[in-house]
Amino acid sequence: MKRGYLFWLGMFVVGGFLIFVIGIFLLGQKEKIFEETFVLHTYFDDVAGLRSGAPVRLSGIDIGVVESIHLPAQPGGRVEVVLKLDKDVQKLIKKDALAVIQTEGLVGDKILAITGGSLQAPSVADADTIQSRSPIALGAILESFDETAQYMRAVTRSLDGITAQIHSGRGTIGKLVYDDSFYNRMLDMTEKGDSVFVAMFRETIRLGQVVQHVAASTDSIIRRIQSGQGTLGALIYRDDLHNITVDAIAAARDSLNALFRKISAGEGLLGRAISDTTWPTAMDSVIWTLTRLSDELVDISKLTRLGMLSFAENMEALKHNWLFRGYFERRGFWSRTEFEEYYEKRKAELREYEKRLKAQEKELRRQARQLQEMRRRIDEQMKQLQEQEKQQG
Amino acid sequence: MHDVFEQVGRYMLFVRQFFRSLLRRPLDGLETLRQTHEIGSKSLLLVGVAGLSIGMVLAMQTSSTLARFGGRGLLPSMIAVAVLREIGPIITALVVSGRVGAGIAAQLGSMRVTEQIDAMEVAALYPFGYLVRTRILACLIAVPILTIYADFLALMGGYVIMFFQQNISLKLYFDSAIRFIDLQTVLPAVAKTAVFGFIIGSIATFTGYYTRHGTHGVGQSAMIAVVLSSLFVIVADVLLVKLTLILFG
């Protein structure tokens, strides 16, 4: 047994040594001691607690460690961070890669993450310097959160007040929601507007009928004149009436002479009007009053038209309002467009009538000119008759 | 009090004698190896069981606490840091000081009271070299190796618990375990166990070598060796940790 212990001693020492070597190898692998590495430099204004030995990650995979961190040489300078990275990943890190300090978890250790950079850029060389982005200060974020929270608190308080006012039925919205009188008034207004529209429709239809009737009457008059019927027709188209006319005219002339004499003597209303000097003033006043009245009427009609347009627009808005849409829909929704179409149609019809009336007016004017010509001829004959009377008398 | 300082002075002379004895031949290498076996290999079971148990206890105790903060994934790292930095070395040192310190002191004490040491001196042998130097050197070699075993087994103990709790793989466990560990952590921690070994060996041999008052003195020496070596291991640990932090950060 003299040296039997040596086996166990050997086992003891070799086992311990193996464990130690494996441990060192594992740690060395983590710290890239036995691997080929390259060095990168980056500079930060603030490393936010990053420490030597912190892992460096590319796309979330550990590719090296922070070798060392150096304070700036002078005040205001940037902190130099030296990174020791796997040689294998050198080709994956481009010259425009960015180093960012991140926190592992919410309160975890600081790590350094590298973004690979653009595909076009060349890969980094050993001891190159890459750009960095300063870490976000948690304090600044919390401060901003605090401000936002305060603002939200103020907004909530204000909304609280508004809601309370609405609940208590105060203010426009409160009254709109809780006061029935507004709804009732609107309902009443809508009903009135409805009846006004119905009346307007009826009046428009009646107006159309009247115009149609007038046009028809005018038509028949003209036809009668043209066919020589009636006084005017006979006067224009029948020659046998000449002698009768001359007699009638002579009689008329006598009557007129008598009338003129009376007028000249200042008898009757017309005589007084001519001889009385105060008469024109009174007439002026009457004419002025009439003119004013007509102006007033024009104004009123304009205002009425404006009022109706506004009302129609309000009603149109109400029809599209969420609050009243349902009401209009229940009553059989109708749009202003339909009314406008009907109105336009009626207007076109009226224009057509107007055109026909104008044509008839033209015809009438033409006939009036013929009448004037006839009158002139009558006057000439009258003069001849007077001359014959003088020669006889 | 006078005695205490006298003993301190004698201890200093004893340590000086040890360092001077290193220059003296023969080195009694075979005896040193035998002592290493006595101190190291034979303590392995004790140290291994202690390390395994400590690892398991650490995992069980801290698992629920870490789970409350959602940090159960950090458990391997926590066990590794605690074990490799402090618990492994100190547990090993205390176990060895209890088992070996008493053994050495009792052995040397009985040799002293039975005048075997005096006989060796008379025979012109070099008892200090053969009895003291070999044991101190054996402690210097064995305690660091025992610490490595204790560390490894404590980590394995933690793994056993984590395996049953979370069914975690061994690779993931060790990957997580070494996350916050670097060589600057491990090497000083292992190196300081050599100091612990020296403290245990020197105090045990000192108390045994200078045993007086017969067989009663042997028991006294064994007790004093255990008490003092354990105490000085802990006190030295405070200083060494501070020194490590100053040197390696």
Separation in Å, CA of A141 to nearest CA in chain B: 23
Separation in Å, CA of A12 to nearest CA in chain B: 6
User: Using CA atoms, how far apart are residues B205 and B198, in angstroms rounded to an integer?
Assistant: 10
Q: Calculate what percentage of chain B has a pLDDT beyond 90.
A: 47
Q: Is B190's Cβ below 8 Å from some Cβ in A? A: yes
Predicted confidence band of residue A242 (pLDDT cuts 50, 70, 90): low
ipTM of the complex: 0.80
Overall number of domains in chain B: 1
Mutation target among B31, B32, B33 for the A interface, most CBs of A within 10 A: B33
Greatest Cα pair distance, chain A, in angstroms, is 200
Predicted confidence band of residue B49 (pLDDT cuts 50, 70, 90): very high
Is the confidence at residue B180, as pLDDT, over 70?
yes
Query: Residue A12: which of B40, B181, B182 has the nearest Cβ?
Result: B40
Give how far Cα B163 sits from Cα of A21, A64, A165, B81, B166, Å.
Answer: 25, 29, 63, 19, 5
Question: What average pLDDT does the segment A97-114 reach?
Answer: 80
Write out the residue range of the structural domain in which residue B146 sits.
2-248
Mutation target among A6, A11, A12 for the B interface, most CBs of B within 10 A: A12
pLDDT value of residue B197: 93
Query: Residue B178: which of A6, A19, A26 has the nearest Cβ?
Result: A26
Residue A27 with chain B: CB contacts under 8 Å: 178, 181-183, 186
pLDDT value of residue A317: 83
CB A48 within 8 A of CB A106: no
Task: Render pLDDT for A274-309 as a digit per residue (tens, 0 to 9).
Answer: 677 676 677 778 888 888 888 889 898 899 989 999
Predicted confidence band of residue B205 (pLDDT cuts 50, 70, 90): very high
User: Using CA atoms, how far apart are residues B231 and B209, in angstroms rounded to an integer?
Assistant: 20
Task: Render pLDDT for B65-98 as a digit per residue (tens, 0 to 9).
Answer: 888 877 777 888 889 999 998 999 999 999 999 9
Question: What average pLDDT does the segment B180-193 reach?
Answer: 86
Q: Calculate what percentage of chain A has a pLDDT beyond 90.
A: 8
Q: Which of A111, A77, A112, A78 is nearest to A93 (CA)?
A: A112
| A211 C-beta neighbours (distance < 10 Å), count | 18
Is the confidence at residue A1, as pLDDT, over 50?
no
Round the average pLDDT of chain B to a whole number and report it: 89
Residue B40 with chain A: CB contacts under 8 Å: 9, 12-13
Round the average pLDDT of chain A to a whole number and report it: 82
Separation in Å, CA of B222 to nearest CA in chain A: 25
Calculate the CA B56 to chain-centre distance. 21
Residue B148 with chain A: CB contacts under 8 Å: 16, 19-20, 23
Greatest Cα pair distance, chain B, in angstroms, is 70
Q: Is B137's Cβ below 8 Å from some Cβ in A? A: no
User: Using CA atoms, how far apart are residues A104 and B181, in angstroms rounded to an integer?
Assistant: 17
Q: Which of B92, B98, B105, B95 is nearest to B136 (CA)?
A: B105
Domain boundaries, chain A: 32-136, 145-178, 181-392
Query: Residue A26: which of B34, B144, B174 has the nearest Cβ?
Result: B174
Query: Residue B145: which of A8, A16, A23 has the nearest Cβ?
Result: A16
Question: What average pLDDT does the segment B208-229 reach?
Answer: 89
Most confident by average pLDDT, A66-75, A187-196, A242-251: A66-75
Is the confidence at residue A42, as pLDDT, over 80?
yes
